[in-house]
Amino acid sequence: MGMPMSHSAYKFKIEPDEMQKETILQTLSLCRWLYNTALEQRIYEYKTHKQTLKCT
């Protein structure tokens, strides 16, 4: 048997200024839109063609 793995965790508190907050919100909004659009395409492809899209 191998050696047991050890995991560590670190917590950091961020305090962004107003411009950084806006950039973070825009980035997260774009990521959410992209994820939901890709999910919508996968669902549509499966419903119409009974095929799944491959992530490449």
The predicted-structure confidence for 3-54, as pLDDT tens digits, reads as follows 778 889 999 999 999 999 999 999 999 999 999 999 999 999 999 988 887 7
How many other CB atoms are there within 10 angstroms of residue 53's CB atom?
13
25/18 Cα distance (integer angstroms): 11
15/12 Cα distance (integer angstroms): 10
